[in-house]
Homo-oligomer: A and B are copies of this chain.
Amino acid sequence: MTQKNRMTPKAHFAEKLRLAGLRPTRQRVAIAALLLDGRHRHVTADSLTEEITTAGLHVSGGTVYNTLNQFTEAGLLRRVMVHNDYSLFDTNTDHHHHFYEAENDQLVDIPHDDVILAQLPAAPDGHEIKAVDVVIHIQSKNS
């Protein structure tokens, strides 16, 4: 078992943040405890703020945005692009793709192996591929 089982949860997430190059402030540790617990899900600044409130905490709006951006920059979260209305963050940073149902703005993970890219184009000269995002747009069958 990993070392995390010897620490209090707070210390565990503080350590995780330090490793990511982020100073473990009270707010960041609280958000890390909510988002980086291993569960795979998709959150928005709004839904995260709700979670924080439900947990009996308070973090200013600016800090929620800053933290989501910093976690993403640090590779602790992943931003998913499916529309222009607001940002979606994925707690699953492993390589995987998504189903997106615009009808009710629902995003669902596709297991890694269920999409196979048999052939990829070469990146344009002087460039390299950083990530490949596949979004499969779906709709309910009865139109």
Contact = CB atoms under 8 A, between A and B. Distances in A.
Interface residues of A, number: 37
A129 B139 CA distance: 7
A139 B134 CA distance: 18
Nearest to A87: B84
A114 interface: yes
B120 A136 contact: yes
B141 A121 contact: no
A41 interface: no
A51 interface: no
Interface in A113-139: 114-121, 123-124, 126-139
Contacts of A136: 120-121, 123, 129, 131-133
